Structure 1
Amino acid sequence: MALTITKIHDLFDQLTTLVDGHTEQHSWEQHLSIPSHIGTGKVIRTHIRPDMEIMLTDVTFEQDMKVHISEACQLFELSYCIQGDIYCEWDGKKSYTEGQNGTVLFLEDVVVYEEKKAGIRNQLLEIRFTPEALLHYAGDAFEKQQMEKWLRHHRGNIDRFPDSPALQRCVSDMIHCKHQGSLKRLYMEGKALEFIALFGESDSYGTVGGNMDLKRDDITKLKQAHELAQTHFEQPLSIRELAKRVEINEFKLKKGFRELYGMTIFELVRQKRMEKALWYMEVEHLNVAETAVSVGYSNASNFTTNFRKQYGCNPGEYLKRIRQMEVERNKL
């Protein structure tokens, strides 16, 4: 199966044709019901304006859905996968997305192979817009330049970005919106802009980019450093040791790493520690002090500070939410 996207709003329309589905018009929205031979569920597209739309997908396919999508226009997309299993390939690159993950892509003139597995519920929020729609919010020439650097950082890629309770709340608000008609359109646009702002905050907007000349060999070494930093996040390697292992000088390691990944090595280590911390609290049911030690913090207060920076709340508050959710599930 193949789709060709020449403007932002083509995806929904071509998907409707591809699956031969039934659509209903609700003011600024179109609802696509998936035919039973394809699967179950629906896709809702909210048309915000000519350069922006929001798509909410909640579909389970009968068979693996395999499609080649030709992105023939500039597309900047922020998505959040509530649950699902999505595999993509493009230009020799690969991306795998599963539940509770946010991704950002900026693609043009590229064919993306996308595969969604049968029997798995795919629940996904997508905010699709043109780069011009983002640049519209630049207050002056400097801000526009910063936004353009930000866009270039993600160009040609499908990248993950850090999750947070604030992002999760924003997604939940959009999924469970009770407004109707033009009021809903206004509400959804406001939430989409909030989501973009939260993404920018988590993505270190304003610090991404630079003019360092990175050769292919430098990039290979920086990628090796990225893998090592992730592998040793509980007992982090020093900058000196990391530079020695990948055979690159310390200055190029620090500056090049930030330019390539939009974050420092320390920020990556902190992010991986916090992701592991969630696992210890949710799956292993460790308390705050035990979790702090398990992810390499000798000082629980430092752990709490970094957790709050990453997720917008203290670990103790997060634990309370988990326990409350477990209580509510047990009542069902």
Structure 2
Amino acid sequence: MTSSLYPPALHFGIPEKMQPHVRVSASLPDRYQQYRIAQSTDTTYVEAPFGSYITQEIRDPNWIISWQQCFVKEKIRLRPSVSQPMLAMYCILQGNISCRLQGKGKLMMIEKEFGIYYIPSHSQNIADLRPGYYEMICISFSPAFVRKFITHHPSFEEIYQQQQRQARRAALLPAIRMDVSDLKVLHEMRHASEDQELAPYLESRLNDLLSLYFSALTPKYLQNGDQAQKLRQICIYIQNHYHQPLSIAELSKQAGMHINTFERAFKELLSVSPRGYIEHLRLKKAASLLSQTTLSIKEISYSTGYRGANYFTAVFRKRYRCSPREYRKNRLT
């Protein structure tokens, strides 16, 4: 069992009619010793009429890495769930899994793909497994760990906010095909030497894995070259002037691009539109001012680039699911 000291872990609910026939153990049977991970701090072996599965976890206050193997003899519908809102990377090493996430609908998790998922607490989710062998890795992150990536990857902000406000609908970032570099990092994590300081080593590998994921989200033609450099300069300009009136047309001229090309390229580079990026910076600053100053709502609205308190309040409520006044009150209490 995980505690509040650690991020939430994913658990698989087994159909109630099978419960009397389920056997749970903290050790692996001899026939499964080949799957044992030496560094694991918590092992769970579950045997049921449909087959069996193994979960092996390494825990840190900033993350939980969970290696999962399922040995399915007959088709089964499991119910993945978490006790607290979870933001995680899920990597499918073997097998394809048909899923349904609460508020998101059906999706297929494909072998050799990984993605970022937000799972609400106690949500109704489904995973359908056909007979075969499945191998997955679930990496659950603490909010503090996630925050480190938001500045460089604004697309992370929205899914992070879903977790912060405990949204009842699941959310996800695109699943991407793993290449040799991604698989190499996962292999290094699994086979880390017992002579190493485990937590710092694994955290470094997790940083590598997330960097590879976000790099893969960016089209190759934008990762280098003049166009990417111009867009990065525009990002810096926006960061320094978000509190002022900004025109997308003027920004596109600064970048030397047609406005349609600019908007498309900007979104491909940052996974957020230019307008969305400006809004992200304004609201982030507004939230900080609400928490750390006694400025009035009107003063904050004008200092963060909004044309009035009413419009600012409407935009803020849409993002944070509460008014600026309620946000300040909750932070102070």
TM normalised by structure 1 equals: 0.51
1:283-302 matches, cutoff 5 A? none
User: Of residues 64, 71, 77 in structure 2, which corresponds to 1:60?
Assistant: 71
Q: Deviations over 1:216-275 (max 9, x none)?
A: xxxxxxxxxxxxxxxxxxxxxxxxxxxxxxxxxx955862586389569xxxxxxxxxxx
Partner residue, 1:42: 54
Deviation at 1:53, TM superposition (A): 0.3
| SS of the residue 2:7 aligns to | coil
Cα drift, residue 55 of structure 1:
0.7
Q: Deviations over 1:42-100 (max 9, x none)?
A: 221111x2231001112112333323445563422112211112122231433201221
Counterpart among 114, 120, 128 of residue 108 in structure 1: 120
CA contact (8 A) 1:60 1:122 kept: yes
Q: In 2, Cα distance between the equivalents of 1:121 and 1:30? A: 22
Structure 2 counterpart of 1:195: 209
**Which residue does the alignment assign to 1:161?**
176
Name the residue aligned to 2:267: 259
Change (3 A) 1:92 1:261: farther
Query: 1:147–1:203: structure 2 CA closer, same or farther, 3 Å change rule?
Result: same
Question: Does the CA contact (< 8 Å) of 2:80 and 2:127 recur in 1?
Answer: no
Give 1:242's aligned residue. Answer: none
Give 2:158's match in structure 1, choosing from 131, 134, 152: 152
For the pair shown, the structure with the greater C-alpha radius of gyration is 2
Which amino acid is 2:134 matched to? Answer: N
Unaligned runs of 5+ in 2: 29-37, 163-170, 239-257, 273-333
Matched residues in 2 for 1:27 and 1:169: separation? 18
Q: Paired residue for 1:240?
A: none
Residue 166 of structure 1 deviates from its aligned partner by 0.7
Distance 1:51 1:263, change over 3 A: closer
Distance 2:185 2:142 in 1: 21
Instruction: Work out whether residues 81 and 100 of structure 1, in 8 Å CA contact, stay in contact via their aligned partners in 2.
Output: yes
Residue 120 (structure 1) shift: 1.8
The answer to whether 1:173 aligns with 2:185 is no
SS of structure 1 residue aligned to 2:193: coil
2:25 to 22, 26, 42: 22
Partner of 1:51: 62
Amino acid at match of 1:174: M
* Kept in 1: contact 2:8–2:85 (CA 8 A): no
Closer, same or farther in 2 for the Cα pair 1:54/1:70, shift >3 Å?
closer
Query: For 1:36 and 1:260, how far apart are their aligned partners in 2?
Result: 45
Distance 1:181 1:38, change over 3 A: farther
1:43–1:252 distance in 2 versus 1, CA, 3 Å: same
Q: 1:262 to 1:30 in 2, by over 3 A?
A: same
Among residues 70, 92, 103, which one is paired with 1:81 in the alignment? 92
Identical-pair percentage: 8
Q: Which residue of 2 aligns with 1:97?
A: 109
Aligned to 2:279: none
SS at 1:35 equivalent: strand
- The answer to whether the Cα contact below 8 Å between 2:53 and 2:69 also exists between their aligned partners in 1 is yes
Across the two proteins, how many residue pairs are aligned to each other?
212
Change in CA separation of 1:153 and 1:30 when aligned onto 2, cut-off 3 Å: closer
DSSP 3-state at the match of 1:187? helix
CA–CA distance in 2 between the matches of 1:133 and 1:150?
A: 12
Q: How does 1:214-253 map to 2 (within 5 A)?
A: 251=259
State whether residues 85 and 116 of structure 1, in contact with CA within 8 Å, keep that contact through their aligned partners in structure 2.
no
The 1:262–1:119 alpha-carbon spacing in structure 2 relative to 1, beyond 3 Å, is farther
- Distance (Å, rounded) in 2 between the aligned partners of 1:107 and 1:256: 29
1:11 maps to which residue? Answer: 10
